[in-house]
A = this chain, B = another copy of it.
Amino acid sequence: MKTAVVGLGYVGLPLTIRLSQLNIEVLAIDTNLKKIKKLQKGILPFAQTEPSLEDFFKKEFKKGTLVFTTTFEKLSEIELIIVCVDTPIIGKVPNYKSLKNALKSIASYLKNGSIVVIESTVAPNTSKNLVIPILEKETKMKINKDFFVATVPERIRPNFIFEQLTTLSRVIGISDKKIENRLRQIYSRVTFGDIDFTNLTTAETVKTVENSFRDVNIAFANEIAIACEEIGVDVWKIRELVNKSPFHNMHMPGAGVGGHCIPKDPWLLASSVKDNRLNLIETSRKINDGMPAHIFALAQEALNEKKIKTSGANFAILGYSYVGNSDDTRNSPTEMLISILKSKKIKHKVHDPYVKKFSNQSIENMAKGAHILIIMVNHDIYRKINYKNMAGIMKTKIIIDGRNVVPIEEVNKLGFNYKGIGNKIT
């Protein structure tokens, strides 16, 4: 079966590579001409830190069967079209502009009997209330007679994209039983995990609930971390011991929650519920969004203890991507911290080896003359910092540890004032 993938981001491009590995011909469409030009030359335009992805891409590219294009004409030959476009939010409201545009373009060439698969994460009932109506209206065709729709929400996360794509189970929502076999043929080869068929809305709900679950549990860890700072205990010890109790899996607290999924999907879920407010989910979003501000509050407290005015301090910030060892900067918590510093006109420098803009100097050069060092991301290299050097370079010895990566005893011995998320014991 020939397939098309529409939208070549973190979801669509790995899927394209995977399908090609399975010797399935893929028409890979993206409206971003710059991206397509790179892909046509065999250059991976992003996600260079993703294990194996670049190698896999180069290997599949050499086969010569991958077609990268900005146009939709060739869809008229294809019966399985997989939509992986971006479905962001603006504020708390879903923005389906890319999805609507993709659907309209697809509609122009939709072949009789085709299946349109939505892998993009969408709010519950979006297939029913948006995808099918648009396709029916634009094509004048009838759902489950002339064409079919499925929702197969992606289940991947940075640093593990290919591993997860090929091993995790998938939930497949279908508009009609008839398409079950055709989809099983494809997806049971894409992944070694289970394939669970259900209806469209259930599949959409599962995905948004999954990420809301993560967000709420991270918020719980963050709320407990802040409580531990006040109680005077170490949240990491608390977490270790709590998780020795059966069925307990307290998540890790941290300097903020970024990425494309966790900060967004709870709002997608909330948008589908009008009569009932999702208070727990909304509270969680607020707590997690507030963590960069909490980091700033810890910084203020530490500077204050050393009698340094925050307004006159030089901040040195380690890490800009939203997750360790990745170049993915979407919804970066560091960006939120920087916007606080900027609004207060506080001098700051940023280092991140994976993010071009912040990779042009060494950690030492960046931290030279700083009053305070803040670790925002748990890149592996930030676990190997030479703090003896740092003690000599920095103007005052203050560390704020947003990711539990600092050797506390060592820096205490060197005379640093250390404060960590959930651990202000000194």
Contact = CB atoms under 8 A, between A and B. Distances in A.
Q: How many copies does the complex hold?
A: 2
Nearest to A128: B232
A124 to B, nearest CB: 5
A421 interface: no
B233 A276 contact: no
A251 to B, nearest CB: 8
**Chain A interface size, under 10 / 10 to 19 / 20 to 34 / 35 or more:** 35 or more
A380 interface: no
A85 to B, nearest CB: 22
Contacts of A242: 206, 209-210, 213
A232 B233 CA distance: 44
Interface in A237-254: 237-238, 241-242, 244-250
Given A169-B244, A210-B242, A205 B231 contact: yes
Nearest to A196: B241
A243 to B, nearest CB: 9
Contacts of A286: 279
Given A209-B224, A210-B245, A237 B280 contact: no
A238 B212 CA distance: 13
Interface stretch (A178-186, A215-223, A409-417): A215-223
A278 B202 CA distance: 32
Nearest to A216: B220
Given A201-B231, A231-B201, A273-B231, A206 B278 contact: no
B226 A276 contact: yes
A59 B118 CA distance: 64
A47 B276 CA distance: 39
Contacts of A210: 242, 245, 248
Given A202-B238, A241-B206, A250 B213 contact: yes
20 contacts: A155-B245, A196-B244, A201-B231, A201-B233, A202-B233, A202-B237, A202-B238, A210-B245, A212-B220, A216-B217, A216-B220, A217-B217, A219-B280, A227-B276, A230-B276, A231-B272, A279-B283, A279-B287, A280-B283, A283-B283
Interface of A: 124-125, 155, 168-169, 171, 194, 196, 198-199, 201-202, 205-206, 209-210, 212-214, 216-217, 219-220, 223-224, 226-228, 230-234, 237-238, 241-242, 244-250, 269, 272-276, 278-281, 283-284, 286-287
